[in-house]
Structure 1
């Protein structure tokens, strides 16, 4: 869509931390910055199945900041719906997407098959189709056009871009964009890495920007001392506390980057004698494949040699097949299992939780951000029981959390990063953060960015980027979700909690008669009848 002034629309990561997707319309064409999968509550995840709020065939180019699925995971859907243009990314991002996107398709196909099987057992006729297939993922990979950090490349007529190392993930980038007419410079932060990030240098980016789009995931957080020595000391303390002769330490982890960091630190602690030689299982085919990518790039990573030593350790085993994964339920003696996904929303960690969550001798260690509505967040918030794939489980395992492996800068680091981008001619858009995090970052910005130049876009909101500043355009697109339904617990979460509460209440009744009375009262309430006392 040609337009006199460029337009920027926020189709994801607006008021929430997933689904990153920003559409930039210029006189030369239309480009997407990221095209990521929504995670979180079921209401948000259902957006993945809905049509895009734009025609895929009208997108001329895609620029991908990094490989994480909440930034890249809907690219195969875009291709399935008709996109055939280039996908610009760094070389390492392309390599990681080469294993992550087919894996994402495979997980969807398996989970949809399981869901349809459960629905048939319940005599429900509706069937669900995967968002995309493995073939769509392979077709997507053929469109990648890798570029090195610092090299300018032409995106569209009158629009060029270059990548800066964001220090967040292997291959992660902030994206600088220059529009020729009208002359406007934009910077899209992508995800910004913290100080002392294991494996990566501090983030880099230019200054003197007209418009800045910045993540705010941990904008309200002042993280404790995150030096490598302190991080390993905290990990050692958690492992020591979890050690039980008949137990296990389960670590839900993102398969890419976080798993490799944990391997590096665990094996270093064991090599130094700070921990005994404990069996460590990497229970994720994706993590195993991603680890091989990291090994190929070890020379580019800070601490790459330590990672390689960890990968060669005799007590590290990778369980790639289903049979190997199932065999973990029969392992005896204390052991550590690192399994995806990091928010406990899919993958093998759910099977490990079903086997261990109800046991006193187990510990679950959360080492990353847990979005609202995810199983990981529910566990982190202290739920006494949870439902996993339709089954109820008591939570008797110790639930622990450390935030020293985050791939995101905290509030002070984000404010410092924004300050280094100054002068900012016009406006700052805060994205990729829940409302509390966004407001927590806003209070750090006085003296850096004036309050009326800090914008908090809603889902599907459009702004016109003028020479005087950004102008919100009302009524162009109805939001797919109202603001109050983004990054909040939804009715699916309420139903799960209600079913658990009913089960707990019935179990607490003293006898069969009391349980029958409680059931009759519940039925009357559901039918709208007056409840008899």
Structure 2
């Protein structure tokens, strides 16, 4: 039996997940995500692929985040004709994310064409895909619940396990049985953490021969999730006392809902003042509606804290969900303390840019970083507290307080990854392949795993690895 592993994205980098298992010449693709980073580099990587989409035989989606699902419409557009398997929640969230991306691309191209026209030039580049392409992509989805095995190829069975990362996120068990030989391969997907709000804790996969493991935080330890509420309350109270606003760039999916959940609890416990909370992201508003639908993904704590009391975890008196542009613009005139949660999470697009431009130079304000910021993004530059940052082509002095909340990360840190791996059968596990991590994170995690006598390989872009039975 011939089995190969290779990757055309998120190999020694964090975004753009595109991993492949080839069984007897048949390609199974795990995720088809967009690369995020420097705009020119991102556009180049997202447009030009080093594999043929029409030669892929099956596609499986671990979760809905843009860097895992964002190029599925391009996969279909480029000739893929098979199914896209996902959990029901991932299908709904990825639909929202892909449609939002198509809308943003159309607006960006329109803007660039206008600029080119003013210069007397012709701008010929087209969006990667349109809303019609997304609609066609959704026709390819087959949704499967956790723990329900399904066939993706002859002799290849897959099962989803809860990865505990975002709503509907999954780790994948591939069971290959061909020519009388058997092999089990595990894909962690993006691995979550224990005790995150709303969703269940990550499930450990059954024992596997090979594990393809994410390594985003392979060199960092997070603050305990239990400390998140205390620190959040401190920041809100401190900023409110000096009359400032808390600006939170947050991914519309999962992080925004977690923040609302925590702020709701703090409000109920009277640990923070009655301060208005504005969720300024149409996508976050729609994502929150999807969260309400998929209660099958909730953990027991959420059920006990809210659902048993018939309360909405994502809505209370101080929360205002902003959908239209005029309401968003009015937030610029706020003079009283407030919390503004807006996307995108890495500050590369969306309404958050306007809120940063209007608030970054006021020392009374706080910018709260609550998630991973990829290299070369505005979010990373703010997190690093660079004295000046460029927004909309203009430089702004960073005078607002910057607070990084590591406890909110939805990615396992290296201690949590080690704990996860050590629950697998060491004697059966032949090798761990590291993907989805920057080089320093992967080097540290590799060192830690090898110290425990695991065989570890850092996956390189486009390189083939033969998996022995």
User: Where on the TM-score scale, by shorter chain, does this alignment land: which range?
Assistant: over 0.9
Aligned counterpart in structure 2 of residue 16 of structure 1, from 13, 16, 24:
13
- Is residue 386 of structure 1 aligned with residue 389 of structure 2? yes
User: Where do 1:22-421 residues align within 5 Å?
Assistant: 22-27=19-24, 29-42=26-39, 44-181=41-178, 182-227=181-226, 230-243=227-240, 246-298=243-295, 300-302=297-299, 303-305=301-303, 306=305, 308-421=311-424
C-alpha RMSD of matched pairs (Å): 1.8
Distance in 2 between the 1:370 and 1:386 partners? 15
Structure 1 pair 176/299, CA: closer, same or farther in 2 (3 Å)?
A: closer
**Count of paired positions:** 460
Whole-angstrom CA distance in 2 between matches of 1:390 and 1:117:
17
Name the stretch that deviates more: 393-402 or 209-218: 393-402
Equivalents in 2 of 1:114, 1:359: separation in Å?
30
Q: For the residues of structure 2 that align with 1:193 and 1:268, how far apart are their CA atoms?
A: 22
Give the secondary structure class of the aligned counterpart of 2:323: coil
1:434 aligns with 2:434: no
Cα separation, partners in 2 of 1:53 and 1:28, compared to 1, 3 Å? closer
Cα distance per residue 1:100-122 (max 9 Å; x no partner): 21112112222232233334445
Check conservation: 1:48, 1:74, Cα contact below 8 A: no
Deviations 1:252-305 (A, max 9, x none): 001101000000111211121100111101011111111011112235412435
TM-score normalised to structure 1 length = 0.83
SS in 1 for 2:225: coil
Q: Which runs of 5+ in 1 are unaligned?
A: 468-533
Residue 68 and residue 448 in structure 1: after superposition, are their counterparts in 2 closer, same or farther (change >3 A)?
Answer: same
Question: 1:84, CA displacement in angstroms?
Answer: 2.1
Q: Tell me the distance in 1 between the aligned counterparts of 2:121 and 2:221.
A: 48
Q: Distance in 1 between matches of 2:152 and 2:398?
A: 51
Matching residue of 2:464: 462
Q: TM-score, normalised by structure 2?
A: 0.94
Q: CA deviation at 1:323?
A: 2.0
CA deviation profile, 1:334-385 (whole Å, cap 9, x unmatched): 1111001111111111111111112223211000111111100011112111
8 Å Cα contact 1:97/1:141 also seen in 2 = no
Kept in 2, the 8 Å contact 1:344–1:375? The answer is: yes
Distance 1:265 1:367 in 2: 13
Q: Cα offset for 1:128? A: 3.0
- Which stretches in structure 2 are left out of the alignment for 5+ residues? none
* Runs of 4+ off more than 6 Å: none
- Per the TM alignment, residue 426 of structure 1 is displaced from its structure 2 partner at its CA by 2.2
Q: What is the rounded CA distance, in whole Å, between the counterparts of 1:445 and 1:369 in structure 2?
A: 23
Tell me, yes or no, if the aligned pair for 1:37 and 1:70 is still in contact at 8 Å.
Answer: yes
